[in-house]
């Protein structure tokens, strides 16, 4: 004879079976999600490893942009360098007839 504590009521057996099924389904879902993430990571790594080679028209466009930038930079450098010139002689008696320099 089994002790009373070891006897199962039919309700407990149903709950126990239901809990096992729920745990099993949860495990299946988690394994599926983990598998998906592993496959997704492999695919992303495989695609991201190789840089895309630019097309000929893309290369031409890049070269044009670089040329325009270098020309613009050259113009800015020429405009920003100070130029030294001579001022016209000041005929006033205070200047003593000396020429003056100016920086533009």
Are 101 and 86 in contact by the 8 Å Cβ rule? The answer is yes
> Is 86 a residue whose pLDDT tops 60?
no
The whole-number pLDDT of residue 30 equals: 95
For residues 91 and 19, the model is more confident at 19
Mean pLDDT of 13-38: 86
Q: How far apart are CA 76 and CA 68, in angstroms?
A: 12
The whole-number pLDDT of residue 36 equals: 97
> Is 98 a residue whose pLDDT tops 70?
no
> Is 38 a residue whose pLDDT tops 80?
yes
């Amino acid at each position: 004879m089994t002790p009373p504590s070891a006897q199962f009521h039919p309700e407990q057996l149903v709950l126990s079976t239901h809990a096992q099924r729920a745990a099993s389904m949860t495990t299946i879902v988690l394994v599926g999600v983990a598998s998906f993430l592993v496959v997704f990571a492999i695919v992303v790594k495989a695609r991201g490893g190789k840089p895309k080679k630019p097309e000929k028209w893309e290369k031409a466009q890049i070269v044009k942009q670089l040329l325009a930038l270098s020309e613009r930079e050259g113009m800015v450098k020429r405009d920003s360098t100070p130029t030294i010139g001579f001022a016209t002689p000041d005929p006033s008696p205070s200047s003593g007839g000396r020429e003056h320099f100016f920086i533009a």
